[in-house]
Every structure is written in structure tokens, then in C-alpha cells.
Structure 1
Amino acid sequence: MPILSVFKSTVLLLFLIFSSCKGQEKEDTSAELNSKPVPEIKVAANRTEAYLPLLKDKKVGIVANPTSVIFKEAGYTHLVDSLLSLNVTIQKVFSPEHGFRGTADAGEHVKDGVDSQTGLPIISLYGKNRKPSSEQLADLDVMVFDIQDVGVRFYTFIASLQLVMEACAEADLPIIVLDRPNPNGHYVDGPTMMEEHTSYLGMNPIPLVYGMTIGEYANLLNGEGWLENGIKANLTVIELENYTHESSYHLPIRPSPNLPNDISITLYPSLGLFEGTNVNAGRGTEFQFQRYGASFLDSTQYDFSYVPEPNFGSKYPKEEGKTCYGKDLSQTERMNEVTMEWVIDAYQNSVDKSKFFLTSGFTKHAGTPLLQQQIEQGMTNEEIKATWQDDLNNFKKIRAKYLIYD
């Protein structure tokens, strides 16, 4: 090949490489300019400047559990420890289900006691009484409520909130709610609680998933007159920063012993209904609310099995020591609905359907006896969900009045 031709070919090749690099550089720069960092959500407990003035020179009671923390660059400190270090006068701690340090099983009574780390008296709200007495509030000037919720009606911390608000209202005691994100706050779904079936697993006519932070829900309780006798609490909600209802929020601390990770929390609204059946929903394994199964499900219909054994947070799991046939859901992505598919699947594949429902318990969790009837009648997931829509639309109108965040 002539030297001139070689030279021309080389120049052309270099030009093409240079042009390609320039284009890539421009593309990368453009992408870099268009990517805006998402502001970090700041929980209300971290906004000490907003609530410390309200606690100054006051005798304080705190409703708290292991999730009641102030986050720092390296880890976190418990709210109680932080406030004590800031010379806030804490008189006592009130502990809801699972206890102040979070070691009790679901449904296990928690006793009064003394916190070994602080020496503070601990009053159980999940034992003999679930509502603070006037005597327990008599030496307080203000109550602080700081609990991480997961936005599911039968998760009992919103019931604790309601009873604490009632007690504070009756005692003319101000209450401050430190808001936290709702990891299931991006949708509203599920059957609505019927008034005649209210219990500690659902005290008000709200859907299974209600799409509100615990601060917004406190506003709703006050605004709708849902506290006993329509009484109003002297309520202050310390708001979150940089949170919307579409925010995806990772809980750095498990909110209770059997919700160990984000997958269990996104599945909890749907798999939590198994609590009203004899089917195991992962308790007694390291995959709580990420699987389901039972020894009485047809083994020929499943290629997954496991054996529940007593462990942290589940001393007596259902189907203990038995081989449970069912489904592994541990790879599920973030959900935006309640589905009945898995409960229907388990019921249809139960070899002894008389063993399946714990009727009273299922009604308490579902909020209505209709759901069990619909499953027994063979209705599909889509058919069942269609029956929820009018109630959901009505609740969304109520909910909209109390939303703090977009």
C-alpha cells in the first residue's frame, strides 16, 4: 500500500476514535449534570432543635422501643440515652409490644420493670394494662411518643399510640409525636375494619394498609374524633424532612423481632394474614414473613419446604419441628398492593381445610368475616380486591385531610 494511503487511513482512524471519545465524554458529562442526589430523610428524633425547647424544665415520659433512636454519622444512640445526656428530665419509659429493648415475642405480655442501662422505671403497655393510668401520668409535664411503624393495621403500635393519646387527653397532658417514615406508606389497600370486629389489632375503620406516617395517623385520630368519647389530645407532631409517600425507606433497625429486613416488611401486609390461620409464615426461621408453609399443605404442589424451630422472637412457632411445604418469597421486590394470592394458594392446597382458619383470629386480622367467606367460596384475588374499592375510596378522602407529606 502506498505511504500516502497509509497516512490517510491512519488520520481517518484517529479522527474517528477522537470523535467517539468526545461524544462519550459529552454523554457522561450530561448524565452527571442530570443526576441530582436525593436528600437524605431526616427523622423527627434527629431534629432536636424542633422539640428540645418543648422539653426544657419539664418532667418527661417517653413511649419508646429499640427503634427510638437518633441517627449519627457512625451508628445511632437511643433517644432516651441522648435526652438524658442533654439534661432532659425523663421520669419514666412506657414500653409497647415486644418491650423497651425489643426481646419479647409477638403477643407475649411484657412486665413492668427497671431499665438496667439507665435505672429508669419501665411501665408496660402490653401487659396488665395497655393504657397509661392517671396515676402513672400524674408526675409528668409532657409525653413523647417515638416508635417506628410499618403501616399495617394489625401492627399494634398504632393501637398503643391511640391509647396513649387518650390517656394524655384525659390527664390534660401534652403529647409530642416524633414522626418516622412509613415503609409501606406509598399505597392504601386491603379490607377495611368493620366496627363490630374492632380489637387491639384494629381499633378504627381503616384499611389494612393505610398509607400514613404515625404522625399523620395521630392527626387523623384527633381530627376524626376517634379517641374515646371524641376527646382531643394536645398534640404536637414533629415532622420529617425530605420525606414523601413515594420515598423508599430502609429501616436500619428491625421494628420488631420477626420483621428482620425490608423484604419481610413489604410482604407483611399480605403474609401477616396467615397469623389468623394455622399456616406458618416463617416464624421459627431466619426468614420471617418471607415464606409460608404447613405440614398439611399438599407436598406435591410445592418444591420448597422448611422446618420451623424456636428462635429469637418466636419461642413456640406454628408447626414447630414439622416439615412445612409452601413457597419461598425471599426475593420479592417492593410491593404496592395487598395480595390474597398466597392465602388463597395455601387454602386451595390444604389437604385438610378444617385445619386452615383460626376463625376468630383471622377475622381480627382481616377486620371482617367476609374475607374468610370469600376465600372459602373460591373467589379469586381480583374478585376479592374489587369488593374493597368503595371503602378504600372513602378512606382516601378522609386520609387526604391529614397528610403532611406529598
Structure 2
Amino acid sequence: MQRLYFLLALILLGCSNKAQEITTEILPGAYQMEEYLPLLEGKKVGLAVNHSSLIASSHLIDSLLKNNIQITKVFTPEHGFTGTVSDGVKVEYDRAQSSYELISLYGKNKKPTPEQMAGLDIMVFDIQDVGARFYTYISTMHYVMEACAENTIPLIILDRPNPNGSYVDGPVLDTALQSFVGMHPIPIVHGMTIGELALMINEEGWLKDQAKVDLQVIKIKNWDHEKRYSLPVKPSPNLPDDLSIALYPSLCLFEGTIMSVGRGTDYAFQQIGHPEYPDTTYSFTPKSKEGAKWPPHEDQVCFGRSWINQEPKYEFMLQPLIQAYHLMRREDFFNNYFKRLAGTNSLQKQIEEGQTEGEIRASWEPELTNFKKKREQYLLYE
């Protein structure tokens, strides 16, 4: 009899755990339609979206149209609506898609113009970010916020989890190096969702002329900054999985060097290499492919280092960059893009001078500490 009670208890415990799993499913802001549909009804709506703007398997556009929401304009970021266009490649749209106009916010037209904003009553932003300062979706968000502020159009952010949201690290951007890959005085890994960052941008006066947008953030349910979140779709062509996303803040700095980060392979941002890398024990060959047209060192065997098949570790690493520089021993190792990515003039000099990772980290710690304190007031999640 005792054994029977024990088995029953195990079954009940298992059912309880399953029920808990169901009720604690992470639900991005787009899932909370009851919160934002009333704000959109009867209005001409603009959307800033791409392929990641999903509610389960349904795209946000389809979900809104089924609820009789009038979508008049759809704005898309780098990589286009489908998320398949290569990095840095200009995206152009010249035709209407169904009942709405499709407008690219990449290339020369990074910010919605007054003509493009004309006729809109409200704007919705719903694009998956990965939590690195140089990932350009947050730059697109900045310009959408600015355009909304200038044209007195309210903005709703449908928040999504930050897969790198469990930590904050890296040098804080020197605003003298402000560019589309770094628009705000934040560290490389900012540890904020797009909703939290939007609140910071708005309240810190970082929009042009310190303008403020009428902003509302629809929060994520059942998520906090310590929870792992595996993206349902790859956010851009060269971030294929959790490992690439975890390594991206560290390995993207190699894009400011002569090294390849594996673009043109199935393992972008999981390996680094160069045809003249002295350690020849590991190699790969970049090929031109969808999402990676004309990759660095195309069709050349690159020797280097791999993280493929490793368990993702959510941390910012400097050692791979320091080690690669000292192994290569080339004056042309860094290019002009590196300072934009690093957000500081000092990192390249520190590596070239032979400073240790500890010494380099100590130099950016005061600004990083100040950012962490500022960040706390804008956090929407524990």
C-alpha cells in the first residue's frame, strides 16, 4: 500500500511539474494581443518588423489582419523582411505588398521620412534583438523612435527576450565614434531587452534634440534576465543557433580585422580563421551563399580556431582576439572598422601594446559600473 501511495505521489508530482512548465512558457510581448489590439483598432498602423515578428507560427502581420487591424506601411531593418539578405547589402522595395507599402530602413534610408510616416496613427516595433551594441536592429529602433517623436505618432514596443540578457560587459561607447553599429553610450553587451533599451533611449534624451516619443512597452510574460531563451528562428542569416548568438558579442570584433568569422559556412560566429594563420590544425573554406554574399577570404582555405559543438557560454571574451593578434603579428591586423565596433580608440592600442585582458578590463570598469547603475532604473524584469 505504501508503494502504491508513493507511485501516486510521483504521478501527481509529474503532472504538477508539467502544468508548471505550461504556465511558465516564455511569451514575448506580441503574444499579449489583449493588451495592444484595443490601441490599434480603427487606426492606420505602421509596423517595424521582419521574419522574427512571430506569435507562435503566425507572423504578426497575419495575426493583426485576422483581427481587422488596418496595416498601411511595413518597415524592415537590415537583412530585409525575410531576414536572408547579406549583411551590409542595400535592401530596396519598389512595390506594394498586398494592402500595405513595404519600406526598407537599410541603405541610404535608415530613418523613416516624414513622407513615409504620413497618414499613420500609430507605430508598432517588433523585431528580435540579440543584445549586442553593434547589432543594427536597435539602431533601426532608435530611428523609428526618432521619427515617431518628430511626427507625433505613438509607438508600441512588443518586447522580446534578450538571449544575451544575463550579463553586462565590454567597453562603453565613446560617442565620438557613434555610427549605425553603435549609436548609444552603452557597453558591447548591454543586458537589456529592446523594451528596456527603448525606455533608456527615451528618458536619457538620446534621440535627436532630446525629443521624446509617446512610448508603451508590452512586456514579456514568464521571463527574467537569468532565464535562457532559445530563439525560434535565426534572427539574421549568420546567427544560425544559440552558440553563434552567445559567441557573437565576442567574435564580431574580428569583423574589424583581417580574420574571417566563418561567414559563407554553416558555422558563422563559431569559428575564426585566415589563410595565413600559423596554427593549421583547424580549417574551413568560406563560400558565397544566401545571406553571405562575397564573404571575406571567399574560396580560400582559412586556418584558425573553432568553437563548433561547444555548449553556449554567455560571457564576453577578449582572449581569442588578443591571442589571434599576437599569433598573426601583422601591422594590418586591424582595419578602420574595428574602432567603430569596439566603440573606443583604446582597445586596439591596448592589444597592440601587449596589455593583458585583466588590464584592459580594468580600464573600462568605471564607465561600465556607472552604466550598470543607470541601467537598473529601466529594467522591466528581474
Q: Give 1 or 2 for the bigger CA radius of gyration.
A: 1
Please state if 1:291 is matched with 2:291. Answer: no
2: distance between equivalents of 1:27 and 1:231? Answer: 59
Match of 1:5 in 2: none
Counterpart pick for 2:203 among 220, 223, 236: 223
* 2:71 paired residue among 90, 103, 117: 90
What's the counterpart of residue 361 of structure 2?
385
Does the CA-based 8 Å contact 2:79-2:87 persist in structure 1?
A: yes
What is the rounded CA distance, in whole Å, between the counterparts of 2:327 and 2:17 in structure 1?
Answer: 48
Q: Which residue of 1 aligns with 2:106?
A: 126
Instruction: Give the secondary-structure state (helix, strand or coil) at the position aligned to 1:388.
Output: helix
Name the aligned partner's letter for residue 133 of structure 1.
T
- Report what 1:199 is aligned to: 179
> What secondary structure, in the 3-state scheme, does the structure 2 residue paired with 1:362 have?
helix
Match of 2:133 in 1: 153
Q: Partners of 2:11 and 2:157 in 1: how far apart?
A: 44
The match for 1:353 is 330
Write out aligned runs for 1:253-332 (5 A). 253-298=233-278, 301-332=279-310
For 2:162 and 2:140, the matched residues in 1 are separated by 17
CA distance in 1, matches of 2:8, 2:366: 52
**DSSP 3-state at the match of 1:349:** helix
1:139 CA displacement: 0.7
Structure 1 window deviating more from structure 2 (127-136 vs 48-57): it is 127-136
Using the TM superposition, name which of 269-278 and 302-311 deviates more.
302-311
Asked if structure 2 preserves the Cα contact closer than 8 Å seen for 1:302 and 1:327, the reply is no
User: Structure 1 residue 378: deviation in Å?
Assistant: 1.3
Greater Cα offset, 302-311 or 251-260: 302-311
Does the CA-based 8 Å contact 2:71-2:99 persist in structure 1? no
AA partner of residue 115 (structure 2): E
Q: Deviations over 1:45-97 (max 9, x none)?
A: 111111000000000000010001111xxxx0111122112111000111110
Q: What is the aligned counterpart of 1:141 among 121, 144, 152?
A: 121
Distance 1:168 1:27 in 2: 56
Distance 1:398 1:107 in 2: 32
Conserved? CA contact 1:183–1:249, under 8 Å? yes
Match of 1:42 in 2: 27
1:165 aligns with 2:154: no
Deviation at 1:393? 0.6
Q: Distance in 1 between matches of 2:133 and 2:102?
A: 26
Which deviations, in whole Å up to 9, do the C-alpha atoms of 1:113-169 show, x marking residues without a partner?
3365x3532111102211111111111000000000000000001111111101100
Contact 1:42 1:241 in 2 (8 A): yes
Q: Could you say what secondary structure the match of 2:331 adopts?
A: helix
The answer to whether the Cα contact below 8 Å between 2:246 and 2:315 also exists between their aligned partners in 1 is no
Q: Is the 8 A contact 1:64 1:146 kept in 2?
A: yes
Counterpart check, 1:399 vs 2:375: yes
Q: For residues 331 and 138 of structure 1, what CA distance do their matches in structure 2 show?
A: 49
How far apart, CA to CA, are the structure 1 residues paired with 2:191 and 2:161?
A: 10
User: Does the residue aligned with 1:252 lie in a helix, a strand or coil?
Assistant: coil
- Offset at 1:26? 10
Tell me if 1:60 matches 2:71: no
CA contact 1:97–1:157 (8 Å) conserved in 2? yes
Q: Which residue of 1 aligns with 2:86?
A: 105
8 Å CA contact 1:274–1:343 kept in 2: the answer is yes
Displacement after TM superposition at 1:333 (Å): 2.5
Percent identity, please.
48
C-alpha displacement at 1:25, in angstroms? Answer: 6.3
Deviation of 1:102 after TM superposition, in Å, equals: 1.5
TM-score normalised to the size of structure 2?
0.94
- Paired letter, 2:44: K
Task: Give the CA deviation at 1:390.
Answer: 1.0
Distance 1:113 1:168 in 2: 23
Secondary structure class of the residue paired with 1:113: coil
1:180 aligns with 2:160: yes
The match for 1:375 is 351
Aligned residue for 2:360, secondary structure, equals: helix
What's the C-alpha RMSD, in Å, of the aligned pairs?
2.1
Note if contact 2:72-2:99 (Cα within 8 Å) is conserved in structure 1.
Answer: no
Name the aligned partner's letter for residue 317 of structure 1: P
- Which 5+ residue runs of structure 1 have no aligned equivalent? 1-17
Aligned mates of 2:138, 2:283 — CA distance in 1: 34
SS at match of 1:121: strand
**1:77 is aligned to 2:55:** no
Conserved 8 A contact 2:29-2:219:
yes
* 8 Å CA contact retained: 2:253, 2:338: yes
Question: Alpha-carbon deviations, 1:178-208, whole Å to 9, x = none?
Answer: 0000000000001110011111111111000
1:334-345 alignment runs, 5 A limit: 334-345=312-323
Quick one: structure 1 residues 35 and 319, their matched pair in 2 at CA, closer, same or farther if it must change by over 3 Å? same
